[in-house]
Amino acid sequence: MEKKIVYSAIQPSGIPTIGNYIGSVRNWLSLQEDYDCFFAMANLHAITVRHDPALLRRRTLELAALYIACGIDPEKCTLYVQSQVPQHAELCWTLNSLTYVGEMERMTQFKDKARNHADNINMGLMDYPVLMAADILLYQTDLVPVGQDQTQHVEIARDIAIRFNNRYGETFRVPEALVRKQGAKICSLQDPLKKMSKSGENPNDSIFMTDDRDTILRKFKRAVTDSGSEIVCSEEKPGVSNLLAIYCAFRGCSMAEAEREFSGKGYGEFKLAVGETVADALSPVQAEQARILSDKEYLGGVLSRGAERAFKAARKTLSKVYRKVGFYQGE
């Protein structure tokens, strides 16, 4: 039986947080066992804001090494760098002709980025969702694992696929969002009403995957809690609820079990326990990432083979698209 296809990617801009780890990377471990997975370093998306080219190259490799250190197996999935497969950009251009400006202006991420980067509102910033649609549709993707706040991007990819199929005939599979549940939204340690971000201005907001033990413990010690002293998950206690969610995600326990464990204990003891749990979990991942980065031949080989596999799959779809829209491809 043919496996369903899963596509997911993370930008190599900024250092991934434990929110990225819990919400994306760790979920991929089970997906790679049951699906035909394409996992990418989305470096084309990373240049819509001003960036340091050397840093982008370095972080691309660091992200690939992190994937593998977390348990992503290049033998079980296609792990590659987006820019090494030119069909992403080529399909994006074709899909632009079926996408309306009003659709792009309404995208939440465009409005947020335009507000945060008012001096650099470029076309790439607006066109970001079309490139994302191309990423997804290029591999005839069935499922796209996303957080609750990212379903809008899958919806626009679905709309574009349906529009193309209606105009040119059946070409793309129409993907579905695979919305993560537990740990889908890990929030800032300083403002638990906001999502934890790798691009936040306050470094104490987030736990980064490269943070050492002392830094992790210090950040959790400073984490915002709530009035009262009960350690329970509730809408009235967003700070405590966020810390409980992080603890449960790393310990593999239920919210009820965590609440029982910390019943009668103070916030100080609670935050220390969460910090130690996270630090213990990240330590072996960090050591393995460093080992992989030191073996340039191995990492380069993994990415080269991944790009070759992705290229073959992408070329098949793009050739079909070009034929449907009437592009001459030779005899």
Catalytic residue numbers? Answer: 113, 195, 198
Is the sign of the CA dihedral 51, 57, 60, 61 positive or negative? negative
How does DSSP classify residue 22? I
CA-to-CA separations, 156 to 31, 44, 179, 188, 191, in angstroms, rounded? 23, 19, 16, 28, 30
Q: How many Å apart are CA 6 and CA 327, to the nearest integer?
A: 28
Within the chain, residue ranges assigned H as helices are 18-20, 26-34, 53-69, 87-96, 101-105, 108-116, 123-137, 151-168, 213-221, 238-251, 255-261, 267-294, 296-325
Is the sign of the CA dihedral 195, 199, 202, 205 positive or negative? positive
Q: How many Å apart are CA 61 and CA 82, to the nearest integer?
A: 12
CB-based contacts of 175, cutoff 8 Å, min separation 6:
7, 136, 137, 141, 142, 143, 144, 154, 157, 158, 161
